[in-house]
A and B are shown apart, each in its own frame.
Chain A
Amino acid sequence: MAAQRRNVSQGLIWGGVAVLGTASLATLALSRGESVNAIWLVVAALCTYAIAYRFYSLFLATRVVRLDSTRPTPAVRRHDGLDYVATNQFVLFGHHFAAIAGAGPLVGPVLAAQMGYLPGTLWLLVGVVFAGAVQDFLMLVFSVRRDARSLGDMIRAEMGNFAGTVASVGILSIMIILLAVLGLIVVKALAHSPWGTFTVFATIPIAVLMGLYSRFVRPHQVLEMSVAGVALLLGAIWLGGAVAANPVTASWFTFSAQDLALLLISYGFLASVLPVWLVLAPRDYLSTFLKIGTICALALGIVVTAPALHMPAITKFVDGTGPVFAGKLFPFLFITIACGAVSGFHALVASGTTPKMLENESQARLIGYGAMLVESFVAIMALVAASVLQPGAYFAMNAPAAVVGDTVQQAAAVISGWGFAITPEALTQLAHQVGETTVLGRAGGAPTLAVGMATIFSNVLGGDRLMAFWYHFAILFEAMFILTTIDAGTRVARFMIQDFVGAALPAFRSNRNWTANIVATGAAVGGWGFFLIQGVHDPLGGINSLWPLFGIANQMLAAIALTFCTVVLFKLKRGRVAWVAGIPTVWLAICTLTAGAEKIFSDIPAIGFLSHAAKYRAAAAAGQILAPAKTMADMRQVIANDNVDTAMAGLFMAVVVVMLAAGIHAAWRAASHPSVSAREVPDDMHLLRQNA
């Protein structure tokens, strides 16, 4: 009787959540003409997550992978107090979330806002529930059952050495593109901005100070050191305002995009060769806490101020003519928003440190599926922040100068012509409010997000007076964790390169080999530096060509991870439920292959690399010089860049095709195999060891 009553009340509660979620989504979707309150978006998202977690993740846990709380996890079996430590699930949730959430979920949705808030919202919600969170959860569980092995190792064990090597090439190339595009976001935000540049530069001495303190004064007191560091950072933002206000000091910190890119490349090299405790670790600590703090503050700000969304639900740019990124809604929306909907990178985290600390299999649902839902919510908040702006201001910030011109008068005229009314005075006023000389051409998401966040925060605290402070706080916060990713990512890429070369030349693998260290670091920095410089010179702002490449790479990695998950389900003789991973695999393969093919072969030069190269080649043959090239040598460089981009996109497509073929082959063999053929621990541990 009591159980029955509980069932009825449970049913009523979940029915209520479903009705509330549907009503909020309907409000968002059906509004035309008038602005909608952001709270509807937040409520729709939270209801979707609650229902997905309660029902779909339960289905995955009980029916698909059959979590078994009696099966010992690596943390229990191999407990060593260091890497393998059974950790409280809420503590581990924090660790895992801090490892998966970065700049990605904040940037993609801001760019996608050019199509209106609705397409991005729907993809974020559907994507996370059926693809992103599924991938993170399955990867975590499969890694836990394979002694916390990495994605590459597991693919090698379950799908063969060849597939494993192809996957590793894919992982290295995504690192290179990721670092370049993140670097470009920082460069775009800091170019000709003395305030921003000063505060970001200031993080280096602050980090070194913290590093020395934790090395020699009070080792291991990371928390007190971080608190002091955050206080110094806030001081640096305040000081930055004074530096920018004085013309002499301002000129010291005013750099062109080109100079900033070169500075960033040298910095990336130094930071990844220097000892980690000096710069990398302390800045990582600062950015971790700033990240968590800012995400919480943003959530609080949105709920307290309940801002109205000024961006329409859908804009005409779904037809592919948008200025922020070129290409139609399908497939480009689905690669522009990767993080927050589905991010292949998480497969590396979910098979990295987290599986070594999982206390019990039953907690994989909260950590694998749950943490990804929270990341999706971060992406929703970024979408809100971008949609809170007047659309005219949004396009002025994100459209390249080649499209809207480089004065506020031209920009206002072009953008008003698109139907998003804005005056030149309003653009000048906005720049003044946030303490900058211009807001034009600041593509890449960070500044737009910063204005959005500054608008939201200044409504809670400080009003207009603090708008400029909050803007630079948001810029600093994004630059911080992008720079941390650049240091840490360059090191990871260096180890991967050492590993690759080491296969032929074993001495190259040693961490103590300084020549190998310098050469591999140089190769890693050279790789992303090349794409960064190329992006800086791109007439369409660079984000235009680099962000799609990054999106394609990230979704490619997700397709690889989900292919692996599908294969494992077939090997476990659970082919009937393999669709949970199979359907998102097919969807991601369609998106990455279509987007890759369009990026290479499209007739529109703004989209297709080959037609872009052809345009420049034809002009060069006629003796003309097209902007941004200033000489014939520049023209040849533009053409060469297009060829490299074509090769990159082609490589990603080839990796997807090879992995899909390997996956289908492995699944086919598993299906015709008479018994379970997956190699899980503890029972099949000997097989896994033999193969490794």
Chain B
Amino acid sequence: MICTCFGKTLNLTALGRRASETARLMLGVPDYDTYVAHMEATHPAQTAMSREAFFRERQAARYGAGGLRCC
């Protein structure tokens, strides 16, 4: 979806995707498609984790030893 605002063209679909990416990363879940693209490009012999497995792996990592957040 495209809309114009103050003479500038805005791609609302792309903006929405960014917003959802930001919201997910705030919870410690990075972009799954980026991960899959990386696996296909650099480790074609290995099978990439499924979306569910990827989510679980990231969730476990967030609350591991390095998961420090501020007060």
Whether, in the assembled complex, A276 has its beta carbon less than 8 Å from a beta carbon of chain B, the answer is: yes
Whether, in the assembled complex, A91 has its beta carbon less than 8 Å from a beta carbon of chain B, the answer is: yes
- Residue of B23, B39, B62 with highest tally of chain A CB at under 10 A: B23
Cα A90 to Cα B26 with chains together (Å) = 12
- Residue of B29, B37, B59, B64 with highest tally of chain A CB at under 10 A: B59
Whether, in the assembled complex, B63 has its beta carbon less than 8 Å from a beta carbon of chain A, the answer is: yes
Contact of B27 among A85, A288, A349, A499 (CB under 8 A): A288
B63 touches A220 (CB 8 A): no
Cα A219 to Cα B36 with chains together (Å) = 18
Whether, in the assembled complex, A309 has its beta carbon less than 8 Å from a beta carbon of chain B, the answer is: no
Would you give the 0/1 interface string for B17-46, flagging 1 where the beta carbon is closer than 8 Å to chain A?
Answer: 010111111111111101111110010000
Contact of B26 among A82, A95, A491 (CB under 8 A): A95
Tally of B interface residues using CB under 8 Å: 41
Within 8 A of A (CB), among B54-68: 54-68
Chain B residues in 8 Å Cβ range of A186: none
Chain B residues in 8 Å Cβ range of A79: 38, 42
Nearest CB on B from A66, distance (A): 28
B70 touches A99 (CB 8 A): yes
Cα A339 to Cα B32 with chains together (Å) = 33
**Main secondary structure on A side of the interface with B:** helix
B25 touches A485 (CB 8 A): no
Within 8 A of B (CB), among A229-284: 276-277, 280-281, 284
- Residue of A222, A339, A349 with highest tally of chain B CB at under 10 A: A222
Chain B residues in 8 Å Cβ range of A101: 70
A280 touches B26 (CB 8 A): no
Chain A residues in 8 Å Cβ range of B26: 94-95, 98, 288-289, 292
Cα A95 to Cα B67 with chains together (Å) = 13
A345 touches B70 (CB 8 A): yes
Nearest CB on A from B68, distance (A): 5
Contact of B21 among A91, A280, A485 (CB under 8 A): A91
Whether, in the assembled complex, A13 has its beta carbon less than 8 Å from a beta carbon of chain B, the answer is: no
A492 touches B27 (CB 8 A): no
Given contacts A94-B23, A219-B52, A352-B67, list 7 more A-B pairs with CB under 8 A.
A100-B70, A222-B29, A223-B23, A289-B26, A345-B68, A353-B67, A488-B69
Question: Can you spell out 21 A-B residue pairs with CB atoms less than 8 angstroms apart?
Answer: A81-B30, A81-B34, A81-B36, A85-B34, A87-B25, A87-B30, A95-B25, A102-B69, A103-B71, A182-B71, A219-B52, A220-B32, A220-B55, A222-B55, A276-B60, A277-B59, A289-B26, A339-B71, A343-B71, A485-B69, A496-B65
